[in-house]
Every structure is written in structure tokens, then in C-alpha cells.
């Protein structure tokens, strides 16, 4: 797979493009790790090219099996261009901490990220409707039944893109700093400051009718789970 | 500036490429808002093109005045390609909450994001060394003095890229869901679940010499401030 393997490199990259090069000992190619990182959030960054210019658009994503999906307005520049099946780069990144080392060169960040290459594909009407229902219920089981269903007008205004997870890799850094052996005798402090994305209590819309209580599926909602 | 302005569009985009199109009433073009979003985190996503393929790489960033910087290994594919001055798309995204509406079509996310277009430029040796010191002390004032300075070998292994913030825009969504007027009579719950990136207590490296205490600049460290 790799042309310049080093002893420390993690094997298993599905393609040369997907092979993690920098800090390649942090690479993960198993699907469970990759899926867990994708599923741990609902915002991805999609990279694509229009007229030679790179664009990166943050957007909601979700996963069904080996496919990732994102959606948007039928009028959006991103979705219009991607509907033609152009190459995209799909990434998800979570920041887990700041790593302070004994040497300036070794400061780092703990993170989990996924990078996938593929071709965007516009979903047909049937798959679009199915995929959006799965997205909504995946966010909070019961949410699809709870809220008003889209009108035909609203359906028309929405496109869904999917991409197969073929050329995909993950990169995960956890734990303590790694310093040069000599530096462990240093007087400098080293350690980590963990970061965590937490959710606060649900806040009802100020315009909500007073008799409406917070439903259980909202009380049970856990972001990224 | 815009060829198809609508009454609701926020004016002030520095270029057509940078003009926010979708949900353009969420656009912010003032530099204070843009800088605050960039400075509120230390991980950006950089989009670039190699041989027609889009790449998106999460990486650390920092800002000095009207420039954003990122760094990496001299051997990295990203930095090698960007050193030639290619067009890049720099984005920063923070997720602030999940917005549940009375209609499936109106579910949303509260977020702050910045998108900037420009050409990557490799910093010269002097600017590189200055910029990395500013980055380190910007993270935690005093950190540059505290840790071992880079060796010449380490300096050589590091490149710094900068990009001027010219073509830049921000997009910010806050607050409650916005539903169609008819839907406000609905029996469905609507509201938000706020999300927040918090930091936990500093954890000393298990290999830290026991007599070394957590320095004040770590105790005072606040991510994104």
C-alpha cells in the first residue's frame, strides 16, 4: 500500500490518497473507530472545487451504514456543484485537549478526526426522504413524528448528497505529551488541559405555548450519542 | 457587490466569492466579529487543491492582525503544496447548540463560522520564528519562556504558512428556532439544547517530576480567550 513505510507506520490505508502521512502512528483505519468519530458530532466540513478554487463548507452530516449524507437548500452553490458528482473531501474533527510539553516543538492537541475522499452523489427523491427521516430520528428518536412533516414545497427546496465511505482514514491523538527523552529531566511543567463539548439544559422557545412540556426525547437527547 | 440582492441580505461582503448566499441574513462582515470567531479556538480547517482533488486538513491556527497562520512539518504534503502560494479556503467553525423547531424543515444548529479565501504564503525564517513565538504565548502567556526553545534541527523541521484576511466573511446563528407563523400554534415542543466547549482541570503528565507544580499560566489558561 505504502511506498515508504517506516517501522512505526500503521498499516491498512485503503488507498494511497487516504494513507495518513504526518504522525502516521496516529492513524486508524478500522471502520468502528471511523464510524464512532463521524457519529460523535453532527457538523462536518466538506471540501470541493469550483473553477479551480477550493471551498470548505461546514454542514450537518449523518451516517447510514457505509454512507455519509449532508443536505441543504436546492439553491445552494455547494449542493448545485456537488450534484454533478464532483470529488469531495469530507472531514470531521473533534478537539479533546491541549497538550503542553517540556519543549516548544512538542506542544500538541488531542483530537479525533476523519478524512474521506469520494464523489458526491445527489440522492433521488425516495432516498432523500428516507435519509432525512433517519437523520432526524437519529438526532432524537421520535423527533420525526413529533414535528410537522415537510410540505411538498419544503421537500422541493431540499437536496441530500451522499458519499460512500471507501477512501477513508482516521487520526486520533490521546493522552500525555511525548517529549524527547532528555527533556523529561526538565524543570518545565508538562501535561494536558482536557476539552469537552458539553450540552446544557434544554431551553424552551420563548414563544412556546406555556402548556407544552419538554418531551422525553429531548430530555434524553445526548449530542453525539 | 451582489447581483441578486434580496431585502434581507446583509451588505458588506468584501467580494462576490465571499458573499454569504444561504441564510444570508446571518452574514457578518465586520472585522471584530470575524476576529473573535477565529480567536475563539485553535483548530481551523484548511481547504486546498492538489491535482484537481480537494483536500481539507484540520490544523492549529492563530491570528496576528489581519493575517492567519498555521504550521506544520516541512515534510507535510499540505505545507509543501501550499508553499507554492496556491489558493486556499480557511474556515473556523464553532457549534453552539441544536435548534429544535415545530417543523422538521426548520430544525437548525446555532454556530459561528468564518470562511476566508486567499493564497497561502510560506513565511520566511524570521517571520516563522516570530509567528511561532506569538502563537505559543498567545495560547498561554509565558509558555514560550517556560518550555525548551526549538533546536536548529526542530526549526528546520517546521514551516509556517500565512494568509491575509481579505476575502473573509462570518456567519452566526444564535437563539431560538424560527418557525413559520402558522406553526407557532402547534402542539410540538420547540427550543434549543445549548452546546459548550469546556475545559477540565489541568492534568500533569504522569512522567512529570513530582516536585514540579502547575504553573500559574496553566492555571489561568482559558481555551479560546
- Residue B2: pLDDT band with limits 50, 70, 90: very low
Q: Does A118 contact chain B (CB < 8 Å)?
A: no
pLDDT, position A15: 85
A170 CB contacts (<8 Å, ≥6 apart)? Answer: A27, A28, A29, A33, A34, A37, A112, A113, A114, A115
- Note whether B136 and B154 are within 8 A (CB): no
Residue B215 has pLDDT above 90, yes or no: yes
Give the lowest-confidence range in A27-31, A44-48, A55-59, B33-37.
A27-31
Neighbours of B87 (CB within 10 A): 17
- What's the mean pLDDT in A1-29? 72
B96 CB contacts (<8 Å, ≥6 apart)? Answer: B109, B110, B111, B112, B173, B174, B194, B195, B196
pLDDT, position B221: 96
Q: What is the pLDDT of residues A163-204, one digit of tens each?
A: 999 999 999 999 999 999 999 999 999 999 999 999 999 999
Beta-strand (E) ranges in B15-124? 27-28, 43-50, 53-64, 67-73, 87-100, 108-119, 121-122
Q: Is A192 left (phi over 0), alpha (psi -120 to 50) or beta?
A: beta
**Is A109 in contact with B76 (Cβ distance < 8 A)?**
no
> How many angstroms away from the CA of A65 is the closest CA of chain B?
23
- Residue A16: pLDDT band with limits 50, 70, 90: confident
Mean pLDDT of chain B: 92
Domain boundaries, given as residue ranges, for chain A: 24-219
Q: Specify which residues B44 forms β-bridges with.
A: B59
Q: Which residue of B has its CA nearest to A213?
A: B189
- What's the mean pLDDT in A113-139? 96
- Segment (H or E) for B162: strand B158-164
Comparing C-alpha atoms, which of B207, B209, B60, B153 is closest to residue A178? B207
- Residue A6: pLDDT band with limits 50, 70, 90: very low
**Is B195 in contact with A200 (Cβ distance < 8 A)?**
yes
B-chain CB neighbours of A187 within 8 Å are: 209, 212
Residue A5 has pLDDT above 70, yes or no: no
Q: What is the pLDDT of residues A143-153, one digit of tens each?
A: 999 999 999 99
* Best mutation target, B17, B50, B189, to test chain A (most A CBs within 10 A): B189
Please report, for residues A105, A162, B149, the alpha-carbon distance to residue A185 in angstroms, rounded to integers and kept in the order given. Answer: 16, 52, 15
- What's the mean pLDDT in B182-202? 97
Please report, for residues A5, A184, B140, B207, the alpha-carbon distance to residue B217 in angstroms, rounded to integers and kept in the order given. Answer: 40, 20, 6, 20
> How many angstroms away from the CA of A3 is the closest CA of chain B?
15
A-chain CB neighbours of B53 within 8 Å are: 17, 49, 87, 89, 117
Query: Nearest 5°: CA angle at A117, between B111 and A134?
Result: 55
Residue B5 has pLDDT above 50, yes or no: no
Query: In this prediction, what percent of chain B has a pLDDT beyond 70?
Result: 96
Q: Which residue of B has its CA nearest to A183?
A: B148
Q: What is the pLDDT of residues A193-214, one digit of tens each?
A: 999 999 999 999 999 999 999 9
Residue range A24-219 in CATH 3.30.420.40: no
Q: What is the pLDDT of residues A32-57, one digit of tens each?
A: 999 999 999 999 999 999 999 999 99
> How many angstroms away from the CA of B65 is the closest CA of chain A?
23
Residue A3 has pLDDT above 70, yes or no: no
Comparing C-alpha atoms, which of B80, B81, B44 is closest to residue B62? B44
- Note whether B193 and B96 are within 8 A (CB): no
Complex ipTM value: 0.92
- Note whether A96 and A194 are within 8 A (CB): yes
Q: Is A23 left (phi over 0), alpha (psi -120 to 50) or beta?
A: left
Residue A118 has pLDDT above 50, yes or no: yes
Q: What is the pLDDT of residues B166-177, one digit of tens each?
A: 999 999 999 999
B-chain CB neighbours of A79 within 8 Å are: none
Ranges of H-type helices in B15-120? 31-39, 77-82
pLDDT, position B31: 95
Residue B3 has pLDDT above 90, yes or no: no
pLDDT, position A206: 97
Report the C-alpha gap between A72 and A80 in whole angstroms. Answer: 10
- Residue B161: pLDDT band with limits 50, 70, 90: very high
Report the C-alpha gap between A109 and A174 in whole angstroms. Answer: 8
pLDDT, position B85: 87
Report the C-alpha gap between A47 and B53 in whole angstroms. Answer: 9
B113 CB contacts (<8 Å, ≥6 apart)? Answer: A58, B37, B91, B92, B93, B94, B170, B171, B172
> pTM for the complete prediction?
0.92
Buried b (16+ CB within 10 A) or exposed e, A144-165: bebbbebeeeeeeebbbbbbeb
Site of grid cell 511525548: A178
Amino acid at each position: 500500500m505504502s511506498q515508504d513505510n517506516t517501522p512505526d507506520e500503521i498499516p491498512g490505508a485503503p488507498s494511497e490518497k487516504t494513507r495518513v502521512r504526518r504522525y502516521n502512528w496516529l492513524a486508524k483505519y478500522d471502520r468502528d473507530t471511523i464510524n464512532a468519530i463521524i457519529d460523535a458530532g453532527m457538523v462536518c466540513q466538506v471540501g470541493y472545487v469550483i473553477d479551480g478554487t477550493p471551498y470548505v463548507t461546514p454542514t450537518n452530516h449523518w451516517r447510514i451504514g457505509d454512507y455519509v449524507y449532508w443536505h441543504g437548500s436546492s439553491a445552494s452553490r455547494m449542493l448545485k456543484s456537488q450534484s454533478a458528482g464532483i470529488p469531495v473531501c469530507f472531514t470531521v474533527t473533534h478537539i479533546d485537549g491541549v497538550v503542553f510539553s517540556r519543549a516548544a516543538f512538542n506542544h500538541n492537541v488531542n483530537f479525533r478526526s476523519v478524512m474521506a475522499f469520494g464523489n458526491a452523489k445527489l440522492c433521488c427523491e425516495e432516498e432523500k426522504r428516507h435519509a432525512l427521516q433517519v437523520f432526524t430520528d437519529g438526532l432524537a428518536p421520535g423527533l420525526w413524528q413529533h414535528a410537522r412533516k415537510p410540505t411538498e414545497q419544503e421537500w422541493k427546496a431540499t437536496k441530500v448528497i451522499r458519499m460512500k465511505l471507501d477512501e477513508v482514514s482516521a487520526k486520533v491523538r490521546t493522552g500525555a505529551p511525548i517529549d524527547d527523552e532528555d527533556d523529561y529531566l526538565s524543570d518545565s511543567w508538562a501535561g494536558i488541559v482536557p476539552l469537552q463539548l458539553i450540552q446544557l439544559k434544554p431551553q424552551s422557545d420563548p414563544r412556546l405555548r406555556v402548556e407544552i412540556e419538554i418531551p422525553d426525547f429531548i430530555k434524553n437527547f445526548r449530542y453525539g450519542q
